[in-house]
Amino acid sequence: MKKTLKIIAPCGILGYGYPIESFMNGINEKPDAIIVDAGSTDAGPHKLGAGVSIVSRLAVKKDLLPMIVEGKKLGIPVIIGSAGGTGTKGQVLWTLEIINEILKEKNIQVKIAIIYSDFEKEYIKEKLLDKKIEPLTENIKQLTIKDIDDTTAIVAQMGHEPIVEALKENPDIILCGRAYDPAPFAGMCIYKGFDEGLAYHLGKILECGALCAEPGTTKDCILGTITEDSVIVKPLSSNRKCLETSVAAHTFYEKDHPFILKGPGTILNLENSRFDQTSENAVEIKNSKIAHTDKYYIKLEGAKKVGYKTFVVAGVRDPMMIERLTEIEKESEKQVREHYHEIPAEDYQINFINYGMDGVLGDCEFEKFKGHEVGVMFEVCANSQEVANTICASLRSTMLHFGYDGRKSTAGNLAFPQAPSDVEFGAVYEFSIYHLMEVENGLTPFKIEYLQGGKNE
Amino acid sequence: MSKLYEIAKILRSKNSGPFELTFDIIFATEEEYKRVKESGIINEDKIAEIYNISKSDIADIVFFNPANGIKITIYRRISSGTIGDRDVYGAQQHAPLMNLEI
Residue A453: per-residue pLDDT: 83
Q: Using an 8 Å CB-CB cutoff, list chain B residues near A368.
A: none
Residue A100 has pLDDT above 60, yes or no: yes
- A 10 A CB-CB count for A389 gives 17
**In three state form, how does the secondary structure of chain A look?**
CCCCEEEEECCCCCCCCCCHHHHHHHHCCCCCEEEEECCCCCCCCHHHHHCCCCCCHHHHHHHHHHHHHHHHHHCCCEEEECCCCCCCHHHHHHHHHHHHHHHHHHCCCEEEEEECCECCHHHHHHHHHCCCEEECCCCCCCCCHHHHHHEEEEEECECCHHHHHHHCCCCCEEEECCECCCHHHHHHHHHCCCCHHHHHHHHHHHCCHHHHCECCCCCCCEEEEECCCCEEEEECCCCCECCHHHHHHHCCCCCCCCCEEEECCEEEECCCCEEEECCCCCEEEECCEEEECCCEEEEEEEEEEEEEEEEEEEEECCHHHHHCHHHHHHHHHHHHHHHCCCCCHHHEEEEEEEECCCCCCHHHCCCCCCCCCEEEEEEEEECCHHHHHHHHHHHHHHHHCCCCCCCCCCCCCCECCCCCCEEEEEEEEEEEEEEEEEECCCCCCCCEEEEEECCCC
Q: Do B50 and A366 count as a contact with CB atoms less than 8 A apart? A: yes
> Which of B20, B50, B84 has its CB closest to that of A137?
B20
Q: Do B19 and A259 count as a contact with CB atoms less than 8 A apart? A: no
Residue of B42, B75, B77, B79 to mutate when probing chain A, most A C-beta within 10 A: B79
Q: Do A248 and B16 count as a contact with CB atoms less than 8 A apart? A: no
Reported for A344-349, long-range contacts at CB under 8 A and 24+ positions apart, including other chains, are A347/A382, A347/A383, A347/A387, A348/A307, A348/A380, A348/A381, A348/A382, A348/A383, A348/A387, A348/A388, A348/A391, A349/A307, A349/A380, A349/A381, A349/A382, A349/B83, A349/B84
Residue A1 has pLDDT above 70, yes or no: no
**Residue of A309, A312, A308, A310 lying closest to A378 (CA atoms):** A312
**Residue of B63, B71, B67, B68 lying closest to B97 (CA atoms):** B71
Query: Nearest residue of B to residue A305 by CA position?
Result: B82
Q: Do A254 and B88 count as a contact with CB atoms less than 8 A apart? A: no
Query: What number of C-beta contacts closer than 8 Å exist between A and B?
Result: 133
Which of A99-108, A244-253, B4-13 shows the lowest mean pLDDT across its residues?
A244-253
Residue A2 has pLDDT above 80, yes or no: no
Residue A253: per-residue pLDDT: 82
CA dist A60 and A54 (Å) reads 10
For chain B, domains (ranges, CATH) are 4-85 (3.30.70)
Q: Do B71 and A257 count as a contact with CB atoms less than 8 A apart? A: yes
Residue of B12, B85, B86 to mutate when probing chain A, most A C-beta within 10 A: B86
Angle between helices A325-339 and A385-400 (to 10 degrees): 130
Residue A242: per-residue pLDDT: 96
Does A248 contact B at CB distance below 8 Å?
yes
**Residue of A292, A20, A26, A7 lying closest to A161 (CA atoms):** A292
CA dist B102 and A197 (Å) reads 37
Residue B78 has pLDDT above 70, yes or no: yes
Res. A455 pLDDT band, cuts 50 70 90: low
Mean per-residue pLDDT over chain A, rounded: 96
Which tens digits make up the pLDDT trace of A119-158?
999 999 999 999 999 999 999 999 999 999 999 999 999 9
Task: Give buried/exposed letters for A51-72 (b at 16+ CB in 10 A, else e).
Answer: bebbbeeebbbebbbbbbebbb
Q: Using an 8 Å CB-CB cutoff, list chain A residues near B96.
A: 361, 364, 366
> Where do the domains of chain A lie?
5-301+433-453, 318-414
Which tens digits make up the pLDDT trace of A325-377?
999 999 999 999 999 999 999 999 999 999 999 999 999 999 999 999 999 99
Residue A89: per-residue pLDDT: 96
Residue A82 has pLDDT above 80, yes or no: yes
β-strand A222-226 against A231-235: which pairing, if any?
Answer: antiparallel
Q: Using an 8 Å CB-CB cutoff, list chain A residues near B33.
A: none
Q: Do B93 and A360 count as a contact with CB atoms less than 8 A apart? A: yes
> Which of A46, A249, A363 has its CB closest to that of B67?
A249
- E strands, B2-90, are 10-15, 20-26, 58-64, 69-75
* Minimum distance, in Å, between the CA of residue B55 and any CA atom of chain A: 13
Res. A454 pLDDT band, cuts 50 70 90: confident
Res. A456 pLDDT band, cuts 50 70 90: low
Q: Do B17 and A256 count as a contact with CB atoms less than 8 A apart? A: yes
- A 10 A CB-CB count for A216 gives 19
Q: Using an 8 Å CB-CB cutoff, list chain B residues near A351.
A: 83-84
User: Comparing A244 with A355, which gets the higher pLDDT?
Assistant: A355
Which tens digits make up the pLDDT trace of A114-123?
999 999 999 9
Q: Do A363 and B18 count as a contact with CB atoms less than 8 A apart? A: no
Q: Using an 8 Å CB-CB cutoff, list chain A residues near B73.
A: 256-257
* Minimum distance, in Å, between the CA of residue A308 and any CA atom of chain B: 10
Q: Using an 8 Å CB-CB cutoff, list chain A residues near B18.
A: 41, 44-45, 431, 434
Which residues of B sit within 8 Å Cβ distance of A? 10, 14-20, 22, 24, 26, 28, 50-52, 57, 59-60, 62, 64, 66-69, 71, 73, 75-76, 79-89, 92-93, 95-96, 99
Q: Do B24 and A353 count as a contact with CB atoms less than 8 A apart? A: no
**pTM summary value:** 0.94
